[in-house]
């Protein structure tokens, strides 16, 4: 008789599991959809490279999958608002730029050098990942540029640099 769980225990376990899932409002946002696309495409590219003769390229999709999954979790649970010491937009921007460059390079190599179908599929999903990551860093760049433009128009100019390192003395 001790094996039967009460409905309250079942709801508590379900609520505990749902805490790890991203919120519906974040998933429907542009950033949430991009991060989900990055996770899915990176995972598919990872699986393709594992099954191919281009297994040397398995590390980049795995790392990008884990980083995108971490950022999806961090943004959906708003961890980024609790840790103000990190420059979250800059870290996300650099992650997207490096991922798009790396995916582009390994996709070209895997499509042109390796003859098996799994390598070609990994290369195709790598090109798709390149586009997704490039679109994400383009949007992050535009958001940062708009933020800087608004900061400059509000009259808050950075302090003048009084250090005279020039040789004009």
pLDDT for the residue numbered 158? 40
> Does residue 168 sit within a domain?
no
Residue 164: per-residue pLDDT: 46
pTM: 0.74
| Residue 113 resides in a domain | yes
Q: Is 38 exposed, middle or buried (0-12, 13-18, 19+ CB in 10 A)?
A: buried
Residue 146 lies in a domain: yes
Find out whether 61 and 38 touch, Cβ atoms under 8 Å. no
Note whether residue 21 is domain-resident.
no
Burial class (CB in 10 A: 0-12, 13-18, 19+), 102: buried
Contacts of 57 (CB under 8 A, 6+ apart): 49, 106, 109, 110, 122
Residue 17 lies in a domain: no
CA–CA separation, 42 vs 62, rounded Å? Answer: 7
DSSP state of 154: T
Q: Which two tokens stand for residue 35?
A: 């991060």
Per-residue pLDDT in tens (0 to 9) along the chain, 169 residues:
555 655 555 555 555 656 666 677 787 888 889 999 999 999 999 999 999 888 889 999 999 999 999 988 888 888 878 887 777 888 889 999 999 999 999 999 999 998 899 999 999 999 999 999 999 999 999 988 888 888 755 444 444 444 444 444 4
From 129, 80, 81, select the one nearest 104 (Cα to Cα). 129
DSSP assignment of 60-100: HHHHHHHHHHHHHHHHHTTHHHH-TTS-HHHHHHHHHHHHH
d(CA 149, CA 151): 5
- The range of the structural domain enclosing residue 123 comes to 27-151
DSSP label at residue 56: G
Tokens of 164: 């005279």
Q: Contact, 32 vs 73, CB < 8 A?
A: no
Residue 167 placed within a domain = no
- Whether residue 6 is contained in a domain is answered as no
- Asked if 26 and 76 count as a contact pair (C-beta separation under 8 A), the reply is yes
Instruction: Give the total number of structural domains in the chain.
Output: 1
Residue 93 · residue 140 · CB < 8 Å: yes
Say if 166 falls within a structural domain: no
């Amino acid at each position: 008789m001790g094996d039967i769980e009460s409905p309250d225990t079942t709801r508590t376990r379900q609520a505990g599991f749902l805490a790890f899932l991203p919120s519906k409002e974040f998933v429907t946002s542009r950033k949430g959809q991009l991060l989900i696309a990055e996770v899915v495409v990176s995972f598919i590219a990872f699986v393709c490279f594992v099954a191919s003769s281009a297994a040397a390229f398995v590390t980049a999709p795995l790392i990008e999958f884990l980083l995108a999954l971490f950022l999806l979790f961090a943004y959906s649970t708003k961890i980024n608002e609790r840790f103000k010491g990190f420059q979250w937009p800059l870290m996300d921007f650099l992650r997207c730029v490096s991922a798009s460059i790396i995916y582009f390079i390994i996709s070209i190599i895997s499509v042109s050098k390796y003859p098996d179908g799994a390598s070609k599929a990994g290369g195709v999903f790598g090109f798709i990942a390149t586009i997704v990551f490039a679109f994400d860093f383009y949007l992050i760049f535009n958001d940062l540029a708009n933020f800087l433009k608004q900061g400059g128009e509000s009259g808050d100019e950075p302090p003048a640099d009084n250090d005279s390192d020039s040789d004009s003395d």
